[in-house]
Amino acid sequence: TRLYYTAVLNDNLKFVNKWEWNATWGDFGVADISNDSTTSMRWKNSYIDTNVGGINWKIGLQGTTLSRGFLFSDDFAGIIANWKGETFELPFYWISAYDSDSFDSQTFDTNYLAVAPKFKWGGANLVPFFMWNFTNNGANGQRNNYQLSDGAPAETPVYDRLDTYYVGLDADFKIGGFGLWFTGIYEFGTGEVLGPQNDQDFNGWLLALGGNFGLGMFDLHGQVFWASGDDNPTDDDVDAFVGPYGRSYYWSEIMGYGIFDKQVSAGSPGDKISNIAAYNLGASIKPADKWKATLDVWYAYLMKDNAFGQDELGLEVDLKVTYELIDGLNLDLIGAYLFADDATATGSNQNQKDPWEVGARVSLSF
């Protein structure tokens, strides 16, 4: 459950809050008999939204998305300052990822700074962007490996200082019933490694392209994305694309989290897009206002072989049916099957059955 509350003080000042409750039925102390625990409550957002000096300011605990989630899609503490013109916007982001004035008697800070101007021309939207992530005294903090977290290999070095930069472009085009989008990102920077190892240089890239075409009750859509991998983990160059902590791009149901976002198949980076190539083709049909069916096919492989010399993740088929029970209340029925290949069934997963998933979701919004 997510509950939003916005206090509108005047036309130029709002106070925005969002709370979240999470529970699995039967969880001890959360959703068992009596249901009287408060441990599942989270305060996700609490910020002011104000217009001062021709600039919109959002200050506090809030959420945002950068580059469709390839770079960032999460809640954070910080500031978004956005200057809006008639055909363009100029937003500046400061994300305070981690801050400790005294950790083992040393200061530790991790911050992201970004700028992403937005330009509109007819049916085109262009967003060039630049992002700088920097960490000081990272070896003494809880997130010293924030860039390579979420599935990072055990041999990932500890960086005493980390400076990485991202430059790229998001582009969206829409003409009639046809839509097309593109994202390109180049990553560079250095990491000062704690210990006898040499410092490392980052050189990663990501390309993504997608589109859709609507024709009456039918819709065709597809996307592809490629993210570089590291051809030699033992050298001083990190060639894999590794986005910052907080990135999240959902794609297929099994390999990319999908609706239920509980876990992903073995070998997949999930929503932290790195060292992967994925191809998607899908179609939707909406024969009536109340229901819609969508079929998607995904094929994915690793850009660089894993430790077992394998790269094929497999072919996945997803089916989703959405039905509007009543106004504001939707039912989603989902079924997915992954024809797993060698990079999914490696190590302890060898000779295991193909992953599959079925489920239902009831969603209410108001």
As given in the structure block, the two tokens for residue 38 are: 């408060």
More confident residue, 346 or 310: 310
The dihedrals phi and psi of 348, each to the nearest 5 degrees, come to: -70, -10
**Spatial separation of the C-alpha atoms in residues 226 and 146, rounded to whole Å:** 22
**Spatial separation of the C-alpha atoms in residues 324 and 365, rounded to whole Å:** 12
pTM above 0.85, yes or no: yes
Q: Taking 70 as the threshold, does the pLDDT of residue 75 lie above it?
A: yes
Q: Residue 99 has what DSSP assignment?
A: E
pLDDT, residue 318, reads 98
Provide the terminal-to-terminal Cα distance of the chain, rounded to the nearest Å: 12
Three-state SS for 144-188 is CCHHHCCCCCCCCCCEEEEEEEEEEEEEEEEECCEEEEEEEEEEE
Q: Taking 50 as the threshold, does the pLDDT of residue 143 lie above it?
A: no
Rounded mean pLDDT, 127-149 = 65
Provide the 3-class DSSP secondary structure of residue 138.
helix
**Cβ-contact 132, 113 below 8 angstroms:** yes
pLDDT, residue 153, reads 40
Task: Report the relative pairing of strands 106-115 and 178-193 from DSSP bridges.
Answer: unpaired
Q: What is the pLDDT of residues 265-320, one digit of tens each?
A: 999 999 999 999 999 999 999 999 999 999 999 999 999 998 888 999 999 999 99
For residue 267, the tally of other CB atoms under 10 A from its CB is 26
